[in-house]
Structure 1
Amino acid sequence: MTNNNKTPSTVTFGNNRLSIEDVVALAEGRAKAALSDDADFRQRIAKGVDFLDRELRDHGHIYGVTTGYGDSVLRRVPPHLVDELPLHLSRFHGCGLGAELSVPASRAVLAVRLASLCSGYSGVSIELLELLNAFFAHDITPIIPEEGSVGASGDLTPLSYIAAALVGEREVMMGGERLPADAALQKAGLQPLTLRPKEALAIMNGTSVMTALMCQAFMRAQYLCQISTRITALATIALHGNPAHFDARLFAAKPHPGQARIAANIASDLAMLGDGYQPARLQDRYSIRCAPHVIGVLADMMPTFRTTLETELNSANDNPLIDIEDETILHGGHFYGGHVAFVADGMKTLIANIADLMDRQMALLVDTKFNHGLPSNLSGSSTDRASINHGLKAVQIGVSAWTAEALKNTMPASVFSRSTECHNQDKVSMGTIAARDCLRVLQLTEQVAAALLITVRQAMVLRLEQGSITRDQLGDDIAAFLDDLGRDIAFIDEDRPLEGTLRHLVARIGARHWPLYSEGSAEK
């Protein structure tokens, strides 16, 4: 549904199935949101509301409508207080702490929750869906603290900040300005919502925060596969590595498709080295020779991660659900985020392994015992000033620190389930914590990748100056990539602070700045 052009595409919520790319395009402001005008879709939403109204009128007993929540299910709510109950749910969950989600992350949460509610199983009104959609049109984003969810009964506390914004409570961002929600709604010409009996529960009881965060993580992991592949190719050239390690015949003998594709991309980057090129070793060290086997595991798992996340994205994941065909209320546990937690825990481990791979590659490049004739720490200083210049020595220490922290954060979150809420929520997914861990590991690994971009660019300039590699041996893609890097990274001939350059490169990686490899996807 989305495209990569500058003209924003439209993501339509209704009967359509959404992709990870749709969510991220909305999060990043590259797409507009629209609510379907399809008559069948709108009729389905209306039927759910009508059925709940009749059920309440005829039988007067519905979980979360005429009862308390969770362990308080045995507490009956008298008719004169039913209308107040949803507002209380949104208010007592307003206890989130920690850092606030970024605006793109919060927009992703809005998109994922709107997609779930549009499935027609939640019993919410079309007015609620239209107001959520209007938040995109008016650039209104609820401010959501990232801590406070155990991932079942869904992301209750963080999603309460969406419910609160809809009724004009708490704070939002609007056009880059922090405002009280009621002021933002007034400025946009929108009326605060009066929550119907089940609507707060429908908004809050689901997996939308963890799923939204992992949609963002997915796109970043996909790009990380590509940038670490290009870094490996440059490290191989700079170390006078052996291109034969990436021979297609090797990977036909162990035919994991993602692994083979990573090897093929590296081989393509090295293709112009030619028959006259002499590698320094018959067999390179593992961080070069086995790079496709490390990066390739993530590449091979990405289709599975996509299937799992997009199934969750396009699901009804609150409780209870409404079957409008049979006019039945179904009580279950679809708010449980186990599948998303598994993706997050699995993905972060594979990403941290790539951080470790790049850390080892840098160690080879800066050490004169292993780099086959490059200067110590890749310093580009003149001989008479070498004694006071230290090149990338401190950057390597930083890379080691970032890698160690990434590896430390690979402890699976899902196994730390905690019984809570009077033992009603006695087995929970920890999916949102797992997703936050995954994003932290990604951030640290992107920092390692930024440092490696400085490293391989410095090493390649030194090799070209030595004449041990010529520009003609690089090929058009590698040469153009190095030229682009040169506009961001100045040659290091004298020691200087590199924080600004590192931060700039991290931003470049986050924005997927460099188009890499023709397939454009780590999972094709």
Structure 2
Amino acid sequence: MDVLKFSAGNITLSHIKKLLTTHSKIDLDIRCQPSVQAARDVVDELLAQGKIMYGINTGFGKLANKIIPTEQLIDLQHNLLRSHAVGTGPVLRVEIAQLITILKLNCMAQGFSGVRWDLIDYFSKLYNSDIYPIIPAKGSVGASGDLAPLAHLSLLLIGEGEAQYQQARITGIQALEILGLQPLKLQPKEGLALINGTQVSTAILCFALFQAQIVFDAALCASALSSIAVNANLSPIDARIQILRRLPSQMHVAEILRFLTEDSLQRTVKKRVQDPYSIRCVPQVMGACLGVMQQIAQILECEINAVTDNPLIFSKEKEILSGGNFHAEPIAFAADQLACVLAEIANLSERRINLLCDESLSGLPSFLIKENGLNSGFMMPHVTAAALSSENKMYAHPIGVDSIPTSGNQEDHVSMATSAAFRLLEMIENTTDIISIEMLAACQGIDLREATVQNSALHEIYTRIRQHIPFLDKDRYLSPEISQVKNMILAQKFELPCFLDSKVNVFSERVI
């Protein structure tokens, strides 16, 4: 059984990727426990002194001026979870619920949240027993934290809410009974610490970035296949051109394309001095996409370890400070950037499909079918790609620039980060469909040209597709075949490192 050992505040994107791919258990270094207890002690000490502290013995948001009697402080924290668990929409997928649990645990374990160790221990036991919260996707504006979705997560600790276990939906009390645990009675500050933070938007963006990397790899493979199908000029991927641009990410993309196409085209006769931009400018466009993805990864490396609840407890100084780390603007901006990346990857792929179908540009039969007229070939697959590409452009509109006041104007500027991140999941689906269509179209073009894929890496890609999808000699039902290639992409059958030999090191600066 794989176990990921980590210390509080020191999770990496590589750790998270491992958790998602290997379903590892977690083992948090307990040396953080004294820091957690020290922050808890500060809360208890200041309460004993009668100090008024936001969310600890006051109401929340606009109700912060309401002082809560000592005998009602536990009810205050429980009421907070119940009143805020008002999410709607589809349930977040299990992988994202896993990440949210880990990130919330990692935040509280750093000793600035004022919670007891029991909360961290409960989350660890739930995670390691494959019990994951049922969290509706909608209902967060991304400031004061991801309040609604985190409330759904946190209800499990008090035996309420819902969870998923062994593909069944169970109640919160059933989840605790499976573990032999009693519902927790939340102490002052604990409910607020649980629902305040950016863990939901961060987890969704992490998952989307991992998926985007898979899509990025497949898009480069599709681009290389299309280059062969249209008998492309290889000079645009020459290393000397990229050096003059000075962008490392562009250099990396061109090197990958050289690796995938060397020996494939050098024996063919070039029909054009310059190809259309969708072929010629792949290093520039995809290089820019890679650069943005690398920047997003850097932001996420910080955010997955950030302490983002409020107020924060500084045990050495015995101070409690109110701040705004719950505001998820960095995640909103990063999600908007990734939306632009996905829209451009999809747009470029759609343009290559159009190129392949246009006999005046590709030199191939119109719509990639021999008896066109009688057969429509790839006419409608291209229409589908065009529809999905345009839908992506709509989704790419920036969400992080939107804001709507809430809580009686106390929370008068919000990030909308959760919405910004969530829309990426649909964009990934659309982009993967488009690339699947391009891969099928490119293989069809290669066969129609009767070209031989000389490059061993690209030949492996071509063969993997042709093992499942035969040449289109006449019209047939293509939707299941598009889905089949899509499933291959998402199963990482075209992840680029698996095609590299030990002599090539172009992936030393991968996104993750």
TM score, norm. by length of structure 2: 0.95
Matches within 5 A, 1:43-442: 43-273=34-264, 275-372=266-363, 374-379=364-369, 383=371, 386-442=372-428
Deviation at 1:301, TM superposition (A): 1.9
Quote the Cα distance in structure 2 between the aligned partners of 1:206 and 1:100. Answer: 19
Deviation at 1:274, TM superposition (A): 5.7
Paired letter, 1:427:
H
1:500-522 CA-partner distances (Å, limit 9, x unpaired): 22223323322323231444564
1:112-138 CA-partner distances (Å, limit 9, x unpaired): 111111121111111110110111111
Q: Does the CA-based 8 Å contact 2:8-2:106 persist in structure 1?
A: no
Quote the Cα distance in structure 2 between the aligned partners of 1:104 and 1:399. Answer: 28
Q: Does the CA-based 8 Å contact 1:35-1:130 persist in structure 2?
A: no
Quote the Cα distance in structure 2 between the aligned partners of 1:16 and 1:426. Answer: 30
Quote the Cα distance in structure 2 between the aligned partners of 1:495 and 1:176. Answer: 40
Quote the Cα distance in structure 2 between the aligned partners of 1:195 and 1:509. Answer: 45
Quote the Cα distance in structure 1 between the aligned partners of 2:45 and 2:204. Answer: 37
Quote the Cα distance in structure 1 between the aligned partners of 2:480 and 2:105. Answer: 38
Residue 512 in structure 1 maps to residue 492 in structure 2? yes
Paired letter, 2:409:
H
Q: Which residue of 2 aligns with 1:4?
A: none
Deviation at 1:96, TM superposition (A): 0.7
Quote the Cα distance in structure 1 between the aligned partners of 2:6 and 2:120. Answer: 9
Secondary structure, aligned partner of 1:11: strand
Q: Which residue of 2 aligns with 1:500?
A: 480
1:58-116 CA-partner distances (Å, limit 9, x unpaired): 22422111100111100010111111111101001121111110111111111111111
Cα distance change, pair 318–16 in 1 and its aligned pair in 2 (3 A): closer
Quote the Cα distance in structure 1 between the aligned partners of 2:368 and 2:36. Answer: 63
Deviation at 1:387, TM superposition (A): 4.3
Secondary structure, aligned partner of 2:110: coil
Secondary structure, aligned partner of 2:382: helix
Structure 2 gaps of 5+ residues are 501-505
Q: Which residue of 1 aligns with 2:460?
A: 480
Q: Which of residues 17, 20, 39 is equivalent to 2:10?
A: 17
1:11-39 CA-partner distances (Å, limit 9, x unpaired): 3343351112322332455322122232x
Deviation at 1:450, TM superposition (A): 1.5
Q: Which residue of 2 aligns with 1:455?
A: 441
Quote the Cα distance in structure 2 between the aligned partners of 1:100 and 1:106. Answer: 9
Residue 445 in structure 1 maps to residue 431 in structure 2? yes
Identity of aligned residues (%): 31
Deviation at 1:173, TM superposition (A): 0.4
Q: Does the CA-based 8 Å contact 1:302-1:522 persist in structure 2?
A: no
After the TM superposition, which of the residue ranges 479-488 and 410-419 deviates more from structure 2?
A: 479-488
Quote the Cα distance in structure 1 between the aligned partners of 2:192 and 2:20. Answer: 24
1:164-184 CA-partner distances (Å, limit 9, x unpaired): 112111211001111112112
Quote the Cα distance in structure 2 between the aligned partners of 1:274 and 1:366. Answer: 20
Quote the Cα distance in structure 2 between the aligned partners of 1:99 and 1:319. Answer: 28
Paired letter, 2:440:
I
After the TM superposition, which of the residue ranges 432-441 and 257-266 deviates more from structure 2?
A: 432-441
Q: Does the CA-based 8 Å contact 1:26-1:111 persist in structure 2?
A: no
After the TM superposition, which of the residue ranges 21-30 and 260-269 deviates more from structure 2?
A: 21-30
Deviation at 1:327, TM superposition (A): 1.0
Q: Which residue of 1 aligns with 2:452?
A: 470
Paired letter, 2:511:
E
Paired letter, 2:459:
A
Quote the Cα distance in structure 2 between the aligned partners of 1:436 and 1:68. Answer: 30
Deviation at 1:275, TM superposition (A): 4.3
Quote the Cα distance in structure 2 between the aligned partners of 1:306 and 1:103. Answer: 22
Q: Does the CA-based 8 Å contact 2:80-2:192 persist in structure 1?
A: yes
Q: Does the CA-based 8 Å contact 1:223-1:522 persist in structure 2?
A: no
After the TM superposition, which of the residue ranges 230-239 and 192-201 deviates more from structure 2?
A: 192-201
Deviation at 1:258, TM superposition (A): 0.6
Paired letter, 2:478:
L
Q: Which residue of 2 aligns with 1:30?
A: 23
Quote the Cα distance in structure 2 between the aligned partners of 1:299 and 1:128. Answer: 39
After the TM superposition, which of the residue ranges 423-432 and 181-190 deviates more from structure 2?
A: 181-190
Give the CA RMSD over aligned residues.
1.7
Quote the Cα distance in structure 2 between the aligned partners of 1:378 and 1:347. Answer: 32
Deviation at 1:357, TM superposition (A): 0.3
Deviation at 1:195, TM superposition (A): 1.5
Quote the Cα distance in structure 2 between the aligned partners of 1:251 and 1:230. Answer: 19
Q: Which residue of 2 aligns with 1:523?
A: 511
1:173-209 CA-partner distances (Å, limit 9, x unpaired): 0011111121122123233222221111111100001
Quote the Cα distance in structure 2 between the aligned partners of 1:168 and 1:27. Answer: 26
Paired letter, 1:269:
L
Cα distance change, pair 362–424 in 1 and its aligned pair in 2 (3 A): same
After the TM superposition, which of the residue ranges 477-486 and 505-514 deviates more from structure 2?
A: 505-514
Q: Does the CA-based 8 Å contact 1:238-1:463 persist in structure 2?
A: yes
Secondary structure, aligned partner of 1:415: coil
Cα distance change, pair 504–125 in 1 and its aligned pair in 2 (3 A): farther
Paired letter, 2:365:
P
After the TM superposition, which of the residue ranges 188-197 and 67-76 deviates more from structure 2?
A: 188-197
Q: Which residue of 1 aligns with 2:503?
A: none
Paired letter, 1:308:
I
Cα distance change, pair 71–28 in 1 and its aligned pair in 2 (3 A): farther
After the TM superposition, which of the residue ranges 205-214 and 49-58 deviates more from structure 2?
A: 49-58
TM score, norm. by length of structure 1: 0.93
